[in-house]
Amino acid sequence: MYKIITKQELAAKIKLLEVNAPDIAAKAKPGQFIILVVDETGERIPLTIADYNIVKGTVTFIFNEVGKTTKQLGSLNEGDSIVNIAGPLGVPSEIKKFGRVLCVGGGVMIAPLHLQVKALREAGNDVTTVIGARGEDLLIFEQKMKKVSNKVYIVTDDGSRGFKGFDFLKELLKAESFQRAIVMGPVIMMETVSEISKSFNIPTMVTVTPIMVDGMGMCGVCRVTVGGETKFACIDGPEFDGHQVDFEELVKRQRLFLPEERLSSMFWEKLGGGCHRER
Amino acid sequence: MPKQKPEIRKHNFNEVALGYTADQAVAEAERCLQCPKPQCVSGCPVEIEIPDFIRLIKERQFDEAVKEVKRRNSLPAICGRVCPQEEQCQQQCVMGKAGEPINIGRLERFVADYEMNRGTSTISKQEPTGKKVAVVGAGPAGLTAAAELVKLGHEVVIFEALHKPGGVLIYGIPEFRLPKRIVAAEADYVKRLGASIETNALIGRLFTIPELLVNRFDAVFVGTGAGLPQFLKLPGENLGGIYSANEFLIRVNLMKSYAFPEYDTPIRIGKKVAVIGAGNVAMDSARSALRLGADTVYIVYRRSKAEMPARAEEVENAEEEGIIFKLLTNPTKFFGDEKGWVKHMECIEMQLGETDESGRRRPSPVEGSEFLMDVDTVIIAVGRTPNPIIQRTTKGLETTKWGTIKAEEETGKTSLPGVYAGGDIVTGEATVIKAMGAGKKAARAIHQYLASQK
Ligand SMILES: Cc1cc2nc3c(=O)[nH]c(=O)nc-3n(C[C@H](O)[C@H](O)[C@H](O)COP(=O)(O)OP(=O)(O)OC[C@H]3O[C@@H](n4cnc5c(N)ncnc54)[C@H](O)[C@@H]3O)c2cc1C
Ligand SMILES: Cc1cc2nc3c(=O)[nH]c(=O)nc-3n(C[C@H](O)[C@H](O)[C@H](O)COP(=O)(O)OP(=O)(O)OC[C@H]3O[C@@H](n4cnc5c(N)ncnc54)[C@H](O)[C@@H]3O)c2cc1C
Ligand code: FES
C-alpha cells in the first residue's frame, strides 16, 4: 500500500498526488515513470515521475483525468492508499552538459519536464523552456519553470496566453542556436516540434506514451516504430529520437481501446464514480 | 479423470479437468506395482518418492501422502496440473509398457487439492542461520529456490516485478487449466514457510543486484524467466487487433479482462481469430479466445501436426473445443481497415523438406500459393526470449548470445560470486518442473556457498 501524503488540484481535471514510496524515491531519475494499480480490480497505468523527495521518501505524479482510472485516482484523498506502484521504470533521460538546450512541454507533461530542466541546469546547460496548454486556465508550473529555466516562452492553442501555436519556434530557432531539444507532451505537439527542430538539425528527444500493461517488456503493447525498427517504449524508452518516431502509428495505437475505455468510464460513473467512497 | 464437456467448457473459464474423487484416487493408486527399483522417480526432475506417496494414498493416509510429496516439491497442486508427466515420470512407469501408466500427475493433484481443501498443512521451522538470500522473480524457479532456502534456515526475500507472485503460472497459464486461487495458495505456502514476497519490485531498476549484495543480502538467486514476446517482423504487425500471446494472456489472466468492465483492463476479441504458432502458449491463447466469444479460432502453423510442440493432451482439448488447425501455412503480411485495425492476413502455403538441426523437417514456402484470410484478431505465439533487465543492469554477469544468463547446470552458479540463476532465464523457454528443479539445485548450492562464507 502506498499512502497519499499530498493532493492538489492544479487546474481543471489536472491533479497532483504525492505518495509515500521511499524505495522508489531513492532510485528515481528524470525521465522515468511508475505503473500503478488503484485497487484490486484496477488496471495498470503508467504515469511519469514529476518529482521525488529522498528525505521525505515520496514520489509525485501529475495527471489529467481522462478516463476511468485517472478519474478514480483523482477521487482519492490525502490519507487514502494506492494498492500497487512499481517503479522507477524506463531508461532515465541523458543528463549531461550539451550547451544550449530547448525544452518544450505541453499539458500535464510540463511537470515531469520541470524535473529534467532542473537537472539539465545543474549539469551546466543554458535552458530555454517553452510551455504550452490548450488555454491559459490549463497552464501549469509557470512560476516553477521560470525559477529553473534561463528563459521561458508560453504557447496556447487558443492564443489566450503567449504565442498562438508553435510557429514562433521557427523564428526562435532562426535567431538562436541549440544543441539539443527535449519535448514532452501530446503526440501532435511532439510531432510538430520535431518537424521544426529537424529542419534546424537539432537532435531532439521525445517521450512517447503508448498504451502499456506490464511496463517491463513482457507484453509488447507499447511497441513503437523508431527509424523503421520496433522498440518497446517501457524498456527501450520512453525517450526516443523525435526525428525517427512514427507518430502516426503511435496515435493509432493509443486509440486501440477507445470504445472499451468509454464503457469502463461509464460503468464506473454509473456505480457512483468515486462518490460511493463517502458512504 | 472427469472433464467438463467441450460444448459447455468452451464458454467458461472454469477448470476443464475436474480431478479425482477420493475413491477414484485410491483405485488408481491400487494399480501401482510398488516396484522395488522404481523407474518413475528417475523421470521426476525434483525426485519425488513416487511409490511412497502412492502407497499412502492406497492406505487412505492422504495427509501423510501430501507430506511425502511436499518433502520434495513445494508446489504440487500446480505440478499435478501442468507438468508434462507423459514425458517424465509416467513415461518411465512399468505399467505403461503394457497398457496405461499410473496417472501420477493426477494423484499428485489429488493429494495437493485434498490438503488445500482441508487447510491442514503443517510447517516445521528451522534453526535460523543468520544468512539472507534475495530471490529475484516469483515464478516456479524463484518460489522453489525460496522454499528450499527457508527450509534450510536462511532468511529469504523474494522480489517480484509484477503485482502478484507466480510468474507464468499467474500471468500466462489460463484459469481453465490452472485456477489462480491455486497459484495464490501455493505462493502463500511459500510465505508461510517463512519467505517474504515484495511485489512491484523490478530488480535492476529499484535495486540492482550489486546493491542487493552490498546492502542487504549474502547471496542472490535470479529466476526472472523468459517473458519477452517475439514478433514475426512482418509488414502490418503493429496494427490494432494484433497481440503478442503474452499481451493477450496477461490481460486475460493477470488482469482478468474476461470480467471487464468489472475489472478495468479491456480486451477486444473479434469474430475470427488467428493464433500463429502451435506450442502450449498458442493452445492456451486459442482456447482463451474461444471462451471470450470468438466465432472461429484458427491455429496457423508452418509445419505439420507431427511437429507441433504443444502437449498432445492440450492439442486434443483444443480440437474437442472446435479450434481449426491450418497447418503448413505461414503468414506473410497483415492488412488493416481505415482505423488501423487488422482485417486480412496474407498467408503462404508451406511444404516440408529435409530434416534440420532441430530434428524436424524444414518448412519452405510454396511459390505463388499466397492467399488471404479474413481475420479481426491475431495472436502471435511464436516464442519468448529472456527478460533482459537484469542482464542490462548487472556488470560482469555473463550471458549467452541468446540473452540467457550463463549458469552451471548442477549449481546455477553464474560468473558473479554469490549470484545464482535458474529456470527459463538460463535455459530459455522450458517447463515449470525444470524451472523448479533448477531452483532446488541452486538452493542447495547457495546453502553450501553460505556455509563456506562463515
Ligand atoms: C510512459 C508513460 C508516461 C505517462 N505519463 C503520464 C503523466 O505523467 N500524466 C498523465 O496524465 N498521463 C500520463 N500518461 C498517460 C496515462 O497513462 C493515461 O492517460 C492513462 O493510462 C489513462 O487511463 P484512464 O483509464 O484514465 O483513461 P482511459 O479510459 O484508458 O483513456 C481515456 C482517454 O485517454 C486516452 N489515453 C489512454 N491512454 C493514453 C496514453 N497512454 N497516452 C495518451 N492518451 C491516452 C485514450 O485514448 C482515451 O481517449 C503516460 C503514459 C505513458 C505510457
Ligand atoms: C502460456 C504458457 C503456458 C505454459 N504451459 C506450460 C505447461 O502446461 N507446463 C509446463 O511445464 N510449462 C508450461 N509453460 C512454461 C513454464 O510456464 C515456464 O517454463 C516456467 O514458468 C518458467 O519458470 P521461471 O520461474 O523460470 O520463470 P517465470 O515463470 O517466467 O517467472 C519469472 C518471474 O520473474 C519476474 N521478473 C522478471 N524480471 C524481473 C526483475 N528484473 N525483477 C523482479 N522480477 C522479475 C517475472 O515477472 C516473473 O514473475 C507455459 C508457458 C506459457 C507462457
Ligand atoms: S508495457 Fe508491456 S512490453 Fe512494454
Question: What pLDDT is stored for residue A277 in this prediction?
Answer: 47
| E strands present in B382-422 | 384-385, 419-421
The alpha carbon dihedral of B36, B40, B42, B45 has a sign of: negative
Q: With an 8 Å Cβ cutoff, are A214 and B207 in contact? A: no
As a whole number of Å, the end-to-end CA separation of chain B is 51
The reply to whether ligand 1 has any atom less than 6 angstroms from the CB of A64 is yes
Please check whether residue A251 touches B, CB under 8 A: no
pLDDT tens, chain B, 454 aa long: 788 899 899 988 899 988 999 999 999 999 999 998 899 999 898 889 999 999 999 999 999 999 999 988 888 999 999 998 888 999 999 898 888 999 999 999 999 999 888 876 666 767 899 999 999 999 999 999 999 999 999 999 999 999 999 999 999 999 999 999 999 988 998 999 899 999 999 999 999 999 999 989 999 999 999 999 999 999 999 999 999 999 999 999 999 888 888 888 888 888 999 999 999 999 999 999 999 999 999 999 999 998 898 988 899 999 999 999 999 999 999 999 988 899 999 999 999 988 888 788 889 999 999 999 999 999 999 999 998 899 989 999 999 999 999 999 999 999 999 999 999 999 999 999 999 999 999 999 999 999 998 6
Minimal-distance CA residue of chain B relative to A234: B389
Distance from CA of A208 to the nearest CA of B (A): 16
Please check whether residue A264 touches B, CB under 8 A: yes
ipTM over 0.85: yes
Distance CA B313, CA B371 (A): 31
| E strands present in B249-383 | 272-276, 296-300, 324-326, 329-336, 342-355, 361-365, 371-374, 377-380
Mean pLDDT over A132-160 rounds to 92
The reply to whether ligand 2 has any atom less than 6 angstroms from the CB of B389 is yes
Question: What pLDDT is stored for residue B122 in this prediction?
Answer: 65
Question: What pLDDT is stored for residue B162 in this prediction?
Answer: 95
Question: What pLDDT is stored for residue A159 in this prediction?
Answer: 86
The C-alpha cell at B5 is 464437456
Question: What pLDDT is stored for residue A260 in this prediction?
Answer: 83
Size of interface A-B (CB pairs under 8 A): 120
Please check whether residue B369 touches A, CB under 8 A: no
The reply to whether ligand 2 has any atom less than 6 angstroms from the CB of B135 is no
The reply to whether ligand 2 has any atom less than 6 angstroms from the CB of B17 is no
The reply to whether ligand 2 has any atom less than 6 angstroms from the CB of B309 is no
CA-A233 nearest atom, ligand 3: 4
Q: With an 8 Å Cβ cutoff, are B229 and A219 in contact? A: yes
Q: Which chain A residues are within 8 Å of B216, Cβ to Cβ?
A: none
Q: Which chain A residues are within 8 Å of B229, Cβ to Cβ?
A: 218-220
- Residue pLDDT, tens place only, A149-196: 999 999 998 888 888 988 889 999 999 999 999 999 999 999 999 999
The reply to whether ligand 2 has any atom less than 6 angstroms from the CB of B167 is yes
Please check whether residue B389 touches A, CB under 8 A: yes
Task: Please provide the DSSP assignment of A142-197 as one string.
Answer: HHHHHHH-SEEEEEESSSSSSEESSTHHHHHHHHS--SEEEEES-HHHHHHHHHHH
Distance B229 CA to ligand 3 centre (A): 10
Q: How many residues comprise chain A? A: 279
Question: What pLDDT is stored for residue A257 in this prediction?
Answer: 83
Strands A180-184 and A204-207: parallel
pLDDT > 70 fraction of chain A, expressed in percent and rounded: 97
Name the residue facing B250 among A214, A252, A260 (closest C-beta): A214
Q: Which chain A residues are within 8 Å of B244, Cβ to Cβ?
A: 219-221
CA-A64 nearest atom, ligand 1: 11
SS3 (DSSP) at B95: helix
pLDDT band at A278 (very low <50, low <70, confident <90, very high): very low
Q: What is the mean pLDDT of chain A?
A: 92
pTM of the model: 0.92
Helix A187-199 vs helix A168-175: angle between axes, to the nearest 10 degrees?
A: 40
Q: Point out the ligand nearest to the CA of residue A222.
A: 3
Write the CA distances from A127 to A51, A52, A116, A173, A181, integer angstroms. 19, 21, 10, 14, 10
Please check whether residue A41 touches B, CB under 8 A: yes
- Residue pLDDT, tens place only, A65-117: 988 899 999 999 999 999 999 999 999 999 999 999 999 999 999 999 999 99
Question: What pLDDT is stored for residue A256 in this prediction?
Answer: 84
Give the CATH number of domain A93-203; options: 2.120.10.80, 3.40.50.300, 3.40.50.80, 3.30.70.2190: 3.40.50.80
Question: What pLDDT is stored for residue A275 in this prediction?
Answer: 56
Assess whether pLDDT exceeds 50 at residue A276: no
Among A43, A73, A218, most B C-beta atoms within 10 A, so best to mutate, is A218
Radius of gyration of chain B (CA): 23
Q: With an 8 Å Cβ cutoff, are A219 and B237 in contact? A: no
User: What is the dotted CATH code of the domain comprising A2-90?
Assistant: 2.40.30.10
Mean pLDDT over A252-270 rounds to 83
By alpha-carbon position, which residue is closest to atom 26 of ligand 2?
B423
The C-alpha cell at A217 is 517488456
Distance CA A14, CA A66 (A): 9
- Determine how many CB atoms are found less than 10 A away from the CB of residue A199: 9
Distance from CA of B35 to the nearest CA of A (A): 45
CB B244 within 8 A of CB B231: yes
Domain ranges of chain A: 2-90, 93-203
Cα–Cα–Cα angle for B194, B195, B200, rounded to 5 degrees = 145
Assess whether pLDDT exceeds 50 at residue A227: yes
Q: Which chain B residues are within 8 Å of A27, Cβ to Cβ?
A: 205-207
Q: What is the mean pLDDT of chain B?
A: 92
Alpha carbon of residue B56 to chain centroid: 28
Please classify residue B232 by burial: count the beta carbons closer than 10 Å to its beta carbon, then call 0-12 exposed, 13-18 middle and 19+ buried.
Answer: middle
Name the residue facing A88 among B199, B205, B339 (closest C-beta): B205
The reply to whether ligand 3 has any atom less than 6 angstroms from the CB of A213 is yes
Question: What pLDDT is stored for residue B121 in this prediction?
Answer: 63
Please check whether residue B261 touches A, CB under 8 A: yes
Distance CA B167, CA B199 (A): 11
The C-alpha cell at A237 is 524508452
pLDDT band at A242 (very low <50, low <70, confident <90, very high): very high
CB B200 within 8 A of CB B161: yes
* Ligand 1 pocket mutation, candidates A65, A66, A110, criterion most atoms within 8 A of CB: A66
Alpha carbon of residue A71 to chain centroid: 17
Distance CA A22, CA A53 (A): 8
Minimal-distance CA residue of chain A relative to B228: A218
Q: Which chain B residues are within 8 Å of A218, Cβ to Cβ?
A: 171, 227-229, 246, 250, 387
| E strands present in B381-426 | 384-385, 419-421
Minimal-distance CA residue of chain A relative to B337: A252
Question: What pLDDT is stored for residue B411 in this prediction?
Answer: 95
Question: What pLDDT is stored for residue B424 in this prediction?
Answer: 96
CA-B229 nearest atom, ligand 3: 3
Q: Which chain A residues are within 8 Å of B245, Cβ to Cβ?
A: none
Please check whether residue A69 touches B, CB under 8 A: yes
Q: With an 8 Å Cβ cutoff, are B247 and A261 in contact? A: no
